[in-house]
Structure 1
Amino acid sequence: MDIKIENHDDYHRHHDEVPLLQGQKSNKSMSEGEDKTLIQRAISRTFQSTAHLANLLPTGSVLAFQLLAPIFTNQGDCDPVSRVLTAGLISVCGLSCFLLSFTDSFKDKNRNVCYGFATVRGLWVIDGSASLPPGEAAKYRLRFIDFLHALMSIQVFAAVALFDQNVVSCFFPAPSPEVREVLTKLPVGIGVICSMLFVVFPTKRHGIGFPLSTDDI
């Protein structure tokens, strides 16, 4: 009889302990669920910010980066070779964003869109298929604002690259809290500041990879 009582007490002690453990697990799962919700919101805002910033860059450079980044970074699991390839990809795409900021377009006599690079004398047509009169070419001369836009394009592309989780995981596989905070806030700050500068100092150029003006369509 004593043995049954002890077993009965053990049974109650066991069931008294289980709800406490279940409560701790439920609280833990709730906190994890809240963390996941915050992370999902941050990722959603990140994608929205990336899409907005990408509109300020040449389409070809951004598409090339977005297509090749997952391959070069091995989905964020980088070895030394993948890290070098990813750095090269970012450098090439960033350089293209810089150079394409100096390109512009116009329509020739046959209404074909021609592209060229802005110089101090005017627009140098890439394929040489058309030429502009001296008075018309003066409108496409190189200006200080072109260098400003080129520098901002590099910064915006750097922000887009830092928004990419594969790139961040490649170069910072185990970031400290301070580094993680910088990687979270720095791209947002660059995007906001450069977006404001693009609005305050707009450009009339419609170069390679940028939308054409209504006159060119």
Structure 2
Amino acid sequence: MASKNQADHLESQPLLAQSSNSAGGGASRDAAEATTTTRRERGMAKAFRSTAELAKHLPTGAVLVFEVLSPAFTNGGKCQSVNRAMTAWLVGLCAAACFLLSFTDSFLDARGTLRYAVATRAGLWVIDGTPPPPPEEAARKRLKFIDFFHALLSLVVFMSVAMFDRNVGACFIPVMSYDTRQVFNAVPLAGGMVGTLLFAAFPSTRHGLGFPIPAAA
């Protein structure tokens, strides 16, 4: 009986009113779909941006230099005393570079010129000989706790790769047990994964040296 009354009520409505209700429902569905699409696009853009930002934080340059020079410095793992000393210096210099480069920054001045600086507690210290940035710009990019966190994390990631390198391991530990060899195989992968996740979870606004920056940065 209720279905019959509802049908009679719909039949009694003008066709224009029914069409308006149908159009309103379609517009609502379109708006909901557009909102869902916008959220999905924002999420994907954020994920891609976080992935691109990793290149600025991970010690890829130091690792590349180390991987190129370590075979020669370690003599392919067959180290003498001089090889051990050279390898230790190589690891130390690359580790220091990883740590110190985390405090560097670059920015665009009013003329759109790319300038390089080092973050300090007072602001930015420009290292390319050009005039200092405006006080508000320098204060906004002063040294922060997150910079020390990134520097320490970059150092840990590099050391997990360098100290567990096959040639370095053979140089300093010529005879390895099975358990030690398994640790040497697992630590670089675990260190890289943990470092990548932490860098993505706690990003930085610094651009370092040699990385392009947008005009609005």
Scaled by the length of structure 1, the TM-score of the pair is: 0.68
Name the residue aligned to 1:187. 188
With over 3 angstroms needed to count, the CA separation of the structure-2 counterparts of 1:89 and 1:141, relative to structure 1, is same
Task: Please say if 1:121 is aligned against 2:122.
Answer: yes
Task: Please say if 1:143 is aligned against 2:144.
Answer: yes
Query: Following superposition, which runs of at least 4 residues in structure 1 exceed 6 angstroms of deviation?
Result: none
Paired amino acid for 2:167: N
With over 3 angstroms needed to count, the CA separation of the structure-2 counterparts of 1:60 and 1:200, relative to structure 1, is closer
Three-state SS of the structure 1 residue aligned to 2:84 is helix
Scaled by the length of structure 2, the TM-score of the pair is: 0.68
**Root mean square deviation, CA, Å:** 2.3
- Aligned pairs (5 A) from 1:83-94: 83-94=84-95
- What's the CA shift for 1:105? 0.3
Paired amino acid for 1:208: L
CA deviation string 1:70-91 (max 9, x = no partner): 1111122111110111011001
Name the residue aligned to 2:47. none
With over 3 angstroms needed to count, the CA separation of the structure-2 counterparts of 1:89 and 1:134, relative to structure 1, is same
- What's the CA shift for 1:201? 0.4
Three-state SS of the structure 1 residue aligned to 2:156 is helix
- What's the CA shift for 1:120? 1.2
For residues 57 and 63 of structure 1, the distance between their equivalents in structure 2, rounded to whole angstroms, comes to 11
- Aligned pairs (5 A) from 1:1-217: 56-162=57-163, 164-209=165-210, 211-215=211-215
CA deviation string 1:3-31 (max 9, x = no partner): xxxxxxxxxxxxxxxxxxxxxxxxxxxxx
With over 3 angstroms needed to count, the CA separation of the structure-2 counterparts of 1:156 and 1:133, relative to structure 1, is same
**CA contact under 8 A between 2:106 and 2:207: conserved in structure 1?**
yes
**CA contact under 8 A between 1:113 and 1:216: conserved in structure 2?**
no
- What's the CA shift for 1:135? 0.9
With over 3 angstroms needed to count, the CA separation of the structure-2 counterparts of 1:54 and 1:112, relative to structure 1, is closer
- What's the CA shift for 1:214? 2.7
Three-state SS of the structure 1 residue aligned to 2:75 is coil
Which sits farther off after the overlay, 111-120 or 85-94? 111-120
Give the gaps of 5 or more residues in structure 1. Answer: 1-52
- What's the CA shift for 1:58? 4.5
